Amino acid sequence: GAVVSQHPSRVICKSGTSVKIECRSLDFQATTMFWYRQFPKQSLMLMATSNEGSKATYEQGVEKDKFLINHASLTLSTLTVTSAHPEDSSFYICSAGASGTDTQYFGPGTRLTVL
């Protein structure tokens, strides 16, 4: 149980385009989902906390207009990287918190490459 999926697993796009990444909790309901970014050989850095039915909370230094987060249901959160540039190339990982617990379950990640 407690499986989190991400789609797509890899995406390559041209500079200036927007990319949407989906995060789904497959067998549980997640009131809260988290989005992380991981650059090569670095740790995971929290970008934002996504709450179902309300606005996301962004960490300091993360542009909310560039990284749009929507958490429309208890099993789906989406991250849209708008007007992507090469410096946005990274590994994006989501996690989902099961309702009523502090436990987070991580997705397999999405590798974004912006040309």
Binding mask 60-99 for another protein (x = CB under 8 A): xx-----------------------------x-x-x-x--
DSSP count for the chain of H helices, then E strands: 0, 11
C-alpha 20, offset from chain centre: 9
**Near another protein in 8-37, by CB under 8 A:** 32, 34
Phi then psi for residue 88, to 5 deg, are -85, -10
Q: How far is the CB of 46 from another protein (least distance, A)?
A: 6
Q: How far apart are CA 95 and CA 109, in angstroms?
A: 9
Interacting residue ranges for another protein, rule: CB under 8 A? 4, 6, 32, 34, 42-46, 49, 57, 59-61, 91, 93, 95, 97, 102-109, 111
